[in-house]
A and B are shown apart, each in its own frame.
Chain A
Amino acid sequence: MRVKLPFSPWHLLLMPLALLFVLPLVQMVATSFMTSAEINHFPPKLIPTALHLEGYRALLSETPVLTWLGNTVLVSTISVLGHLILCSTAGYGFARLKFAGSGLAFLAVVATVMIPMQLLMIPTYLMFARIGIVDTLAAAFVPWLASAFGIFLMRQFFLSLPGELEEAARLDGAGTWRTFVSVVLPLARPALATLTVFTLLSSWNDLLWPLVAISDDHRFTLQVGLASFQGTRRTEWSQLMAGNVIATVPLILAFLFAQKRFVATMAFTGLKG
């Protein structure tokens, strides 16, 4: 059933703004398929004459961009898994289990939110250098295995769950771990999805920390690799845009397929975080 809506003046505001937000991304994709001659053409063109793959080919032959992509996928996957396991167990512990020192421990976790990453990067770099993981992918994902935000998010969620189901499971003789895995976790799917989106966005897009921690160009993440490639090839626009497409399109596709989930994550960060 389609309701016919009258033309609204809001279109006059929304249409130009929507285009302003999305056109640069369209131009990014279009430029990645152009030849240098087309890019330098005057007046500039928005649409390539054909799908030229020169930019992608040159990028593939001049940089280990697929290795970078693989590194980013690996770092993000481990970060997401780390968050899902460590933050959900910790969130459950703080929400439901009464144990000595839990108040103090949770306070310490919350207090860390105030400390900016920029303050921590010098000592963390030195610490990682001492245990020998600087310049490895581990340096990129270890700080992302768990976060105060993730613990907080999961704790809030578990606090909002009614306790009756867990009581019933316990009466049936299930231990704490069994109850958690087979009763609580399945109910936590929305919160776990939010946690996944949050961690994926943060770890995939991070630049500063992997830039500091990794200097071997075969261990770069995509963001670091592109930034360093840009530093040497400032004018190779089709290659730069090809790299940009590789770095952003996976998340953009994920966003288009799971827009509700992404939006819920952003809203949660704002309203409850």
Chain B
Amino acid sequence: MALTFAVSPRAASKARRPGPRGSALRRHLTGWAFAGPATLLVVGLSLFPAGWAFVISQAKWNGIAPATMVGWRNYEQLAQDPDMLAASGHTLLLTVLFVPSSIVLGILLAVALNQRIRLIGFYRTCIFVPYVASAAATGILAGFVFNPQFGAVNEVFRHLGIPAQQFLESPSQALYIVCLIALWGQVGFTTVVYLAALQDIPRELVEAATVDGAGKFRVFRHVTLPELRPVTVFTAVWQTITAMQLFDLIYTTTRGGPLNSTQTIVYYIYELAFQTQRLGYGAAAAYVLFAVTLLLTLVVIWYSRRRGAEVF
């Protein structure tokens, strides 16, 4: 007993203060024990599959029969595939409509919700709450609200004397309605982001401008908007990615129809890979989507910076 007591403090101090090399090794091991599991999981489930997807995109493969390597032929074929071109057109139109609208609406709503007026808590809750509803549920709900026979929108139109519309069942309207529904679900997000940014603007800045005799609109134009610029770069990028990758909403509203009028790139990839088992071709389409998203993101960043510099 006495012996143990005599020995254990020394053993403990030895363990606590090992040699310099041992302590360095221990430090590295501790670091990896903390950061390793998540890093391995995240990197292992993205960089490795991304590389594999590239190999698959060079093959003709249905997942069962042996794959034949075809080089860049899938990509060449995609460039002439009328379905892919149509899907890209729809995706781009959706993005061009969705991104600016969600930014403009987000800024407008954030300014409105930043006022100190009665019911402001109620307004905020109402405008944010659709964001937490899933896109799948939103799509199913939209199918009801925009139903040509007994939907609420046509009912409102009837009272206003506007003829009933086909909405999601019309090839010429469906894509615009999908964009509208996506806005309903996503504007809460841009609004929150802009509201937070507005509240971050130092009060002195606005007060100084007001003291200098600037009207409310001029303060907004020359003080507030420039302060929101960095946030706008972010929201533009984020919303571009959201629009480019829209799938859930389309799956539960139109499934790409009517007459393929709402077929987006992601929906096409899903059909290719998981409905018709054309894995190689689907992977190539996914790489095209990746490249276009990356390119568009860079364009958005460049454009927001440049335009920001000119306008303000």
Contacts and interface: CB of A to CB of B under 8 A. Distances in A.
A263 B188 CA distance: 10
A201 interface: yes
B103 to A, nearest CB: 12
Nearest to B266: A118
A270 to B, nearest CB: 3
A231 B256 CA distance: 13
B123 A14 contact: yes
Contact of A251 (B31, B132, B135, B195): B132
By size class, the interface of chain B is 35 or more
A146 B34 CA distance: 13
Interface in A203-252: 204-205, 207-208, 211-212, 223, 226-227, 230-231, 234, 237, 240-241, 243-244, 247-248, 251-252
A120 B294 contact: no
A18 B184 contact: no
Nearest to A124: B49
Nearest to A201: B132
Contacts of A150: 38
Given A40-B150, A87-B38, A230-B140, A93 B145 contact: no
Contacts of B47: 108, 111-112, 115
Nearest to A23: B152
Contacts of B155: 43-44
B117 interface: yes
Given A99-B28, A237-B144, A259-B128, A122 B273 contact: yes
A98 interface: yes
Given A21-B126, A97-B35, A8 B290 contact: no
Given A116-B289, A119-B53, A271-B200, 10 more contacts: A28-B144, A31-B144, A97-B27, A99-B31, A148-B46, A180-B34, A226-B136, A244-B141, A262-B132, A266-B131
Interface of B: 27-39, 41-43, 45-50, 52-53, 56, 63, 109, 112-113, 115-119, 122-137, 140-145, 150-152, 155, 158, 184, 188-190, 192-193, 195-197, 200, 231, 234-235, 238, 241, 245, 247-248, 251-252, 255, 266, 269-270, 273-274, 279, 282-283, 286-287, 289-290, 293-294
26 contacts: A11-B119, A13-B112, A24-B142, A24-B152, A27-B144, A92-B34, A109-B39, A118-B266, A119-B49, A119-B53, A119-B287, A123-B53, A123-B56, A145-B41, A150-B38, A207-B135, A223-B137, A244-B141, A248-B137, A251-B133, A256-B125, A262-B128, A263-B128, A266-B188, A270-B235, A271-B200
